[in-house]
Amino acid sequence: MATQQTRSLARFMMAPSVILLFVWMIVPLLFTLWFSFQQYNPLNPIRNGFVGFSNYALFYSNPAFLSSILNTLIIVISVLVITVVGGILLAMLLDQPIWGQGVVRILVISPFFVMPPVAALVWKNMIMHPQYGVFADIARFFGAQPIDWFGQHPLTAIILIVAWQWLPFATLILLTSLQSLDGEQKEAAEMDGAGFLSRFWYLTLPHMSRAITVVILIQTIFLLSIYAEILVTTNGGPGYASTNLPFLVYQKALLEFKIGQASAGGVIAVILANIVAFFAMRAVGKNLDK
Amino acid sequence: MARAVTTQHKTIATAAAWIVALLIFFPILYTIITSFKSEQEAIQGFNLIPSGTFESYSEVQQQSGYFKFFFNSVLLSVGSTILALIVAIPAAWSMAFSPTKRTKDVLMWMLSTKMMPAVAVLFPIYLIFRDSGLLDSRIGLTVMLMLINLPIVVWMLYTYFREIPGEILEAARMDGASLWNEIIYVLTPMAIPGIASTMLLNIILAWNEAFWTIRLTTTNAAPLTAFISSFSSPQGLFWAKLSAASTLAIAPILIMGWFSQKQLVRGLTFGAVK
């Protein structure tokens, strides 16, 4: 039984984590909120002052704003579709009895450990470069015109790179979940004459559903804030073609010093993340109860 | 009766799995291969057999002082991880062994801090760092990385600690063990594997963190993420060098990652998938 003494000891042991995280979350966020209602430009301090909602209006009327939100969503949804569908297929393949499974797993999981700037630069220069990249070599081999990925399809190129980074994560988690599927159940279904598709649909997929939810939620958190991949490949361009919300906020804040607008964008990013977080918390929270 | 696996089935599955795996691994493999080419060779079209020169590696070190960045990466990732463990172990311990009604709420709230987008606080953090002289300092960035990963560390430790049977602690208490003895002789030996896994995953995450490490550093405290990003400005086609730098940047973490697959699943899903 927890006595008064152990309870206060527990509180004391939790205090550092809780206080640190609280300060780290609340202080900068209040700053951002405050700045979002201010005209603030470190290069032009005379005009600084309270401006109400005009930063939000400015950010909203900026043509880059809507396209950046759209780009953010396109990146998140495309990568999710590629990684979840690809991850399910790959996990089912790796779940088969194969020779050298350990090595295959290591090869498949590797991209996840590659730091984002390296992943982006390797793809940009060695794979997708319109002249010297491997894709260009392949295109020329078949007598086709190499594609200028970052000039013409910047968003697609970024989606490909990010999907490459996250496919291993999805695969690994779905495979782990798949391996906990009871073999006897599978056999029973087979004995009852269930075909491959109906086994997949009625047995495998429901079994993986929680893992799929977790994959979607965790990836969404990270995908909403893709940054380094854009910085080192397209720098948001051409124009705003590959600028997502985090990248736009970064441009406003540290390149144009429009702190008010950047902060308004930041607040919008928080709201967007909170919508996702709401669902994420419920899903993870359910797990704690068991 | 166990399902008979035909050799034919296994052969096809093996072939398919290896092809897909090699395709996924290809960009990394090609980077490693290119790092052993000369700059000339690197842009001469598709070629899987390098001449085997090490010149790119020595040039990367000579021109840019690669090891300074490497050293910073090690310092930041290991330092922030140890710092996070020091703060998180007591918290996770108390939540796992003396849970209250609010424990779950506290855990969920900690997780929610992880979901705050970094850009939302970019400028305030930048200001705070600038005004307190922490910009481009190793200490500032270590604390930053510690805070970013603290929720994951607490969560992972919590899921591991929760699996330690509480009866053992009670038995020790009955036998008259003091709290200190309880921690040293009973808890620590059982907790070490969990702590080690947490440490491993957290080092990987900190090593690869590529927002704050790029934005809050310039030269002094810059780790490999910032160093590699500096290659993005067009400065000619130095692909062999880029490959060498990239290989060096990912090799240590790649190898650590291979050993931590299982913990990775558990850590990144907050214990939801094991």
Q: Please, is B78 exposed, middle or buried when counting C-beta atoms within 10 Å of its C-beta (0-12, 13-18, 19+)? A: middle
**pLDDT on residue B122:** 82
Domain membership of residue A62 (yes or no) is yes
pLDDT at A283: 66
| Angstrom distance (rounded) from CA B205 to CA B189 | 25
Which residues, other chains included, contact A37 with Cβ-Cβ below 8 Å and sequence gap of 6+? A50, A51, A52, A53, A55, A260
Residue A92 within a domain? yes
> B274 touching A, CB under 8 A?
yes
Task: Name the residue in chain B with its Cα closest to that of A41.
Answer: B123
Is residue B254 within 8 A of residue B236, CB to CB? The reply is: no
* C-alpha B213, offset from chain centre: 13
Residue A25 falls inside a structural domain: no
Minimal Cβ distance to A109: which of B115, B250, B257 = B257
A43-47, A77-81, B10-14, B67-71: which has the minimum mean pLDDT? A43-47
Q: How confident is the model at residue A27 (pLDDT cuts 50, 70, 90)?
A: confident
pLDDT, residue A125, reads 85
B45 close to A (CB below 8 A): yes
Give which of B183, B211, B110, B194 is closest to B152, Cα–Cα: B110
In chain B, residues with a C-beta closer than 8 Å to the C-beta of A98 are 10, 13-14, 17-18
Map tokens 């060098």 to a residue: B241
pLDDT in the model for residue A131: 80
Q: Which of A9-13, A169-173, B87-91, B192-196 has the lowest mean pLDDT?
A: A9-13
pLDDT-derived band at A82, boundaries 50, 70, 90: very high
Q: Answer with the residue of higher pLDDT: B149 or A256.
A: B149
Q: Which residues, 6 or more positions from B12, have their beta carbon under 8 angstroms from its beta carbon?
A: none
What's the pLDDT band for B61 if we cut at 50, 70, 90? confident
pLDDT bracket for residue B24 (50, 70, 90) = very high
Report the pLDDT value the prediction gives residue B99, as an integer from 0 to 100: 79
| pLDDT confidence bin for B2, thresholds 50/70/90 | very low
Nearest CA to A171 out of B198, B207, B257, B265 is that of B265
Share of chain B above pLDDT 70, in %: 95
Long-range contacts of A136-144 (CB under 8 A, 24+ apart): A137/B45, A137/B46, A138/B46
Residues pairing with A39 in the sheet: A49
Is residue A1 predicted with pLDDT exceeding 80?
no
Q: Which of B114, B103, B106, B129 is nearest to B213 (CA)?
A: B129
Give the model's confidence band at B5: pLDDT under 50 very low, under 70 low, under 90 confident, else very high.
Answer: low
User: A231 and B232 in contact by Cβ < 8 A?
Assistant: yes
Q: Which has the closest alpha carbon to B268: A174, A278, A89?
A: A174
Q: Which of B115, B128, B150 sits opposite A221 (nearest CB)?
A: B115
Contact B242 A125 (CB under 8 A): yes
pLDDT tens, position by position, A54-79: 778 888 888 888 888 899 889 999 99
A4 within a domain of the structure (yes/no): no
The boundaries of the domain holding residue A284 are: 33-289
Let me know if residue A8 belongs to a domain.
no
Query: CATH number, domain at A120?
Result: 1.10.3720.10
User: Angle, to 10 degrees, between the axis of helix B55-64 and the axis of helix B239-259?
Assistant: 100
Task: Report if residue A38 sits inside a domain.
Answer: yes
Check pLDDT > 70 for residue B233: no
Write a three-state SS string for chain A.
Answer: CCCHHHHHHHHHHHHHHHHHHHHHHHHHHHHHHHHCCEECCCCCHHHCEECCCHHHHHHHHCHHHHHHHHHHHHHHHHHHHHHHHHHHHHHHHHCCCCCCHHHHHHHHHHHHHCCHHHHHHHHHHHHCCCCCCHHHHHHHHCCCCCCCHHHHCHHHHHHHHHHHHHHHHHHHHHHHHHHCCCHHHHHHHHHCCCCHHHHHHHHHHHHHHHHHHHHHHHHHHHHCCCCHHHHHHCCCCCCCCCCCHHHHHHHHHHHCCCHHHHHHHHHHHHHHHHHHHHHHHHHHHHHHHC
ipTM: 0.84
pLDDT of A287: 57
Closest CA to A146 of B10, B45, B33, B26: B45
B71 touches chain A (CB under 8 A): no
Which residues in chain A are closer than 8 Å to B254, comparing Cβ atoms?
110, 113-114
Query: Where would I find the H helices in chain B?
Result: 7-35, 39-42, 55-64, 66-97, 103-114, 122-131, 138-161, 166-174, 179-181, 188-208, 212-215, 224-229, 239-259, 261-268
Number of structural domains in chain A: 1
- The answer for residues whose C-beta is within 8 angstroms of residue B229's C-beta and 6 or more apart is A117, A228, A231, A232, B210, B214
Reply yes or no on whether the pLDDT at B77 is more than 90: yes
Give the Cα separation of B129 and A46 in Å (integer).
Answer: 24
Round the average pLDDT of chain B to a whole number and report it.
83
B94-139 pLDDT, tens per residue? 888 877 888 888 888 887 777 777 877 888 888 888 888 888 888 8
- Tokens in use for B119? 């850009």
φ, ψ of residue B32 in degrees (nearest 5) = -65, -45
pLDDT 10s digits, B161-205: 888 877 777 777 777 777 777 777 777 788 888 888 888 888 988
Is A24 among the domain residues?
no
Give the domains, in start order, of chain B with CATH numbers: 66-238+248-268 (1.10.3720.10)
> Would you state the torsion angle of the CA atoms of residues B165, B169, B171, B172, taken in this order, to the nearest 10 degrees?
150
Q: How confident is the model over A214-244, as pLDDT tens digits?
A: 888 788 888 888 888 898 888 887 878 888 8
Measured between beta carbons, the chain B residues lying within 8 angstroms of A119 are 27
Does the pLDDT value for residue A290 go beyond 50? no
Does A264 reside within a domain? yes
Nearest residue of chain B to residue A121 (CA atoms): B232
Whether A119 contacts chain B with CB within 8 A: yes
What's the mean pLDDT when you consider all of chain A? Answer: 83
The confidence score (pLDDT) of residue B32 equals: 92
pLDDT per position as a tens digit, A89-135: 999 999 888 888 888 988 999 999 999 989 998 998 888 888 888 88
Q: Tell whether the model's pLDDT for residue A53 goes beyond 70.
A: yes
Distance of CA A289 to the CA centre of its chain: 27
From chain A, pick out residues whose CB is under 8 angstroms from the CB of B23. none
DSSP codes, B216-237: T-SSTT--HHHHHHGGGS--S-
Q: At what angle are helices A101-109 and B7-35 packed, to 10 degrees?
A: 40
What is the distance between the alpha carbons of residues B54 and B244, in angstroms, rounded to a whole number?
Answer: 9
What is the average per-residue pLDDT within A150-169?
Answer: 92
